[in-house]
Every structure is written in C-alpha cells, then in structure tokens.
A and B are shown apart, each in its own frame.
Chain A
Amino acid sequence: MPISKISFCLLASILIIACGTASNEEKKAKQEEVSENSNEGEGVTDLKKEQLNLLISESKRTMDSIDIAYKYIRRLSPMLNLSADDRQQVNEALMEMNSAKELIILETQQVVIDQLKEKSASLNIIMADMNLKSEKLKSICATLTKVCGMIEKTTNVLATALTTGLIRPKLSTALEKPAT
C-alpha cells in the first residue's frame, strides 16, 4: 500500500508540473500576442483575431486536460485510504490544479481586455471632437442670447421714447399716405 501511495503522489506531481508547463506555454502565447498588439492596420487586426482565437482554443484544450487529471486524482484518492495529512496534501495538489486553470483564464482575459480597450479608445477621439462641437453650440447660443438682450434693451429705450412722446416715427405718415 505505501508503494501505491508513493506512485500516486508521483503521478500527482507530474500532473502539476505538466499544468505549470502548460500555463508557461500560455504565458508565451500571451507575450507573442501582446508584442503583436503594438502593430496597427487591417491585416494586423485579422492577425490579432486569429491569434486570440488560437489562444482561446489552446487555453480550452489545456484546461480540459487539467480537468481530466483533477478528476482522475479525485476519484483515485478515496480508494487509497489516506491519512488526514496525506489527504490534505492531495487537496493542496488539487487546489494548485484549479489555480493553474484560473491563471490561464486570467491571462486570456487580459489579452481579450487589452484588445477591447484598444477598440473602445477610438471612441475617445470621436467624443473629444463632439465635445468641441458641443462647446461651439453653447457659444452660438450665448451669442444669440446676447443679441436678443441688445434688441431687448433697444426696444425698451424705444418704448419709453414712444410712450413719453420723445420720438414720433414717420411710420404713421407712411401708412397714411395713399399708394401711388
């Protein structure tokens, strides 16, 4: 029985190392992805898309392998009648496998988000332009209000002058004149 325990622990270790290697491969793939991100243009966009799809499918494949290993160890361990300490060790190994999976997910997320940020940043340029135009609208509105105010003041002066009889416009004589 102790031999099978040792072989079990060995198997678990090999699987964990395999997970680590897989996540290193993911890291490399991510680094390649990021280095490509610096380029621009249509062709580059397609290339990025392709690389992202490749990264997603590769990460899926790796995570599926980890899941298979996890299930194998989990099913096998109760049969070995392990002590509490040994069991804790197995639990720790299983947690490491889940952590490796989460690391892959985190890195894939990062690549996806970087590309999303690139795309949404273009919106900033458009919005800066529209903010300028919005300011222009406000300034036109202010000018028109100013003109309105000036006309209003002139009208007040005219109204006062008309009421007090200071001025008598020729408009009345023009209206009274017969059309020729």
Chain B
Amino acid sequence: MKYLKTAVMRYLIFFLSFFYSCSTLQNPHKQNVKAFAVAAKGLSLAPGELYQNVSDYRHELRTIESATLFTTDKVIPRLNAILETKRAFEKNAAQVKGAGLLIVSYTECLLALVDDGYYKNLNAGSKDLSLQLTAALSTYNKSFNKQLPVSVGGFLGLVVNQIGSVKLKQLQKKYLKEFVTNGSFIINDVCDYFTNEMALSLQNEMSSLDKQFENVMSNFYDNIEQYQRKHDVNPFDYLKNYNPLYLRLKEKLTDLHLMQTNTIAAMQQVKTTHELLKTSVDSNLSKELGPKLNELYAAMQDMKMAYLKLKEK
C-alpha cells in the first residue's frame, strides 16, 4: 500500500512536470519577448526623434536666413513668423512621437503579459504551506511515535503550487499568443507604412532640405560678400565665425541623412523580428530569433548613440 502511494506520487510529479513543460511559457520565450519589447520600445521613438531633429535643423536655417533682413519692420515680423513655423513642425513631430508611443505601449503590454509577478505571491504562499505541513507532520510523528512520511507536506505544497502556476502560465501563453498574433497585423501595417509611404515622404523632405541648406547658406554668404565689398572690411573678421557654422550645419545634415536611413531600417527590423517572435510563440522555434534579437538590440544602441551625437552638435 505504502509502495503504491509512493508510485502514485511519483507519477503525479512526473505528470505535472510534463504538463508544465509542454503547455506553458518557457524561460527562453520570456527572455525573447522581453528582449524584443525592450529593443522595439527604444526604436519606436526613433521616427519622432528624427522629425524633431529635422524640425530643429529647419529652425536653425530659418534663423540664419532671417539675418539677411536688417530693418526693424522686416526683422520682427519675420522672427515672429519663424516661431510659428517652428511650432507647426514641432506639432507634427509630436504626433509622430505619439504614434511611436503606441508601439511602446504595445511592448509594455507584452512585458506585462510575461511578468512573473502574477504567480510570485502564489509561489510564496504555497512554500509556506508546504513548510507548515511538513512541520505539523514531524510534530505528529514525534508526539505519537508514528512514522508518517514527512514529504507528504512538501508534496501537497508542490501540487498546489504547480496547479496554480501551471494554470496561470497556460493563460499567459494563451494570451501572449493571441496578443502577438493580433498585434502582428498592426505592427506589420504600421512598420510597412514607415518603410514605404513615410520613407518616401521623408526622402522627398530630406532632398528638399539639402537644397534649402545650399540655397540659404549661399544667399547668406552672398550678403556677407556684398557687405564686405561695400564697407571694405577684412573678410576674416566675419568668416572666422561663419565658416565653422557652415561646417557644423553641413555635418549635422549628413547625420540627419544617416539617421533617416537607420530609422527606416530599424522599423523594418522591428517588423521582421516581431514576425519571428510570433512564429516562436506559435511553434516553440526560436533558433533564428536569437540572432535577429541581437541585431535589433544593436540597432537600438546605434540609434541611441546617433541621437546623442546629434544633440551634442
């Protein structure tokens, strides 16, 4: 009879372990989801940052351009006007940021779904329970000089813990699968929009910005030259200040182009990695996902560095 009980216990433990490993979220899955969420969160804000940086750059050009006016009745209205234009561009940048924030919220939802906090309390409770049962059985055995198996307490605790945890983890997996599958359509749609329509519009905008930079700076230098000729002053006195300004803006423009390319590529990566994540949650395959996640993480780090570099200028 005693042998039979031990055997039943062993089968139960085996069954629970098997059930647990087959139908619940495994640690690598959780790590993958977390890694994706962290990297995608960082990258989703990149388009908004790009728009903001381009807007700041435009404002700098407008300010330089305004220096070619000199009468008060022209300068003041012009300065007021460029402030309004700045606000209009910033409003658009904020809206792009807002769209990015929605992807951030999506990744936060992903993180919440794989959170261990759901069954942390349950685990703590069942550990206490197991200890108390074991202690009670030991006391009983001592008091009445009986030999009840002390492991029964631990076993009961384990059963409560496992059933509770398995139930929660099963639900976590089910919901995560649902979430990633439904989210996939939207993420694909949004990322495709970033990489196609928005990329085209940005390309158009950046090419126009190149020409605007060239026009504004050339006209600015024309004006300096005219002034210098009329007043016969040493050009060095002016150019020592304006040449570094030109170089800084030229370099910044190159960085903005690089950032534009990286942002579009990053959105493409978010889409591809999310697709792999979906496949991985569906079929427990994650061989390709690991390297892709590393690439996504590296892209996020590159983007962060690029923005820091741009802010320094």
Hey, which bits of chain A sit against chain B, CB under 8 A?
49, 52-53, 56, 59-60, 63, 67, 70-71, 74, 77-78, 84-85, 87-88, 91-92, 94-95, 98-99, 101-102, 105-106, 108-110, 112-113, 115-117, 119-124, 126-127, 129-131, 133-134, 136-138, 140-141, 144-145, 147-149, 151-152, 155-156, 158-159, 162-163, 165, 168, 171-172, 175, 179
B99: shortest Cβ distance to chain A, in Å? 4
User: Of the 9-residue stretches B15-23, B216-224, B287-295, which lies at the interface with chain A?
Assistant: B216-224
B38 within 8 A of A: no
Indicate if the CB atoms of B219 and A94 lie closer than 8 Å.
yes
A4: shortest Cβ distance to chain B, in Å? 17
Question: What is the interface size of chain B, counting residues whose CB is below 8 A from a CB of the partner?
Answer: 82
Chain A residues closer than 8 Å to B183, beta-carbon distance:
123, 126
Q: Can you name the residue of chain A whose Cβ is closest to the Cβ of B81?
A: A99
B254 within 8 A of A: no
B168 within 8 A of A: yes
Indicate if the CB atoms of A88 and B143 lie closer than 8 Å.
no
Decide yes or no: A134 and B112 within 8 Å by CB, A74-B218, A74-B219, A168-B144 being known contacts.
Answer: yes
The answer for the CA separation of A115 and B99 in the assembled complex, in Å, is 10
B7: shortest Cβ distance to chain A, in Å? 14
Decide yes or no: A117 and B125 within 8 Å by CB, A112-B201, A130-B109, A163-B136 being known contacts.
Answer: no
Hey, which bits of chain B sit against chain A, CB under 8 A?
1-2, 51, 58, 62, 65-66, 68-71, 74, 78, 81, 85, 88-89, 92, 95-96, 98-99, 102-103, 105-106, 109, 112-113, 118-119, 121-122, 125-126, 128-129, 132-133, 135-136, 139-140, 143-144, 146, 148, 160, 164, 167-168, 171-172, 175, 178-179, 182-183, 186-187, 189-190, 193-194, 197-198, 200-201, 204-205, 207-208, 211-212, 215-216, 218-219, 222-223, 225-226
B6: shortest Cβ distance to chain A, in Å? 12
The answer for the CA separation of A19 and B89 in the assembled complex, in Å, is 20
Residue from B2, B51, B89, B140 whose CB has the most chain A CB atoms within 10 Å: B140
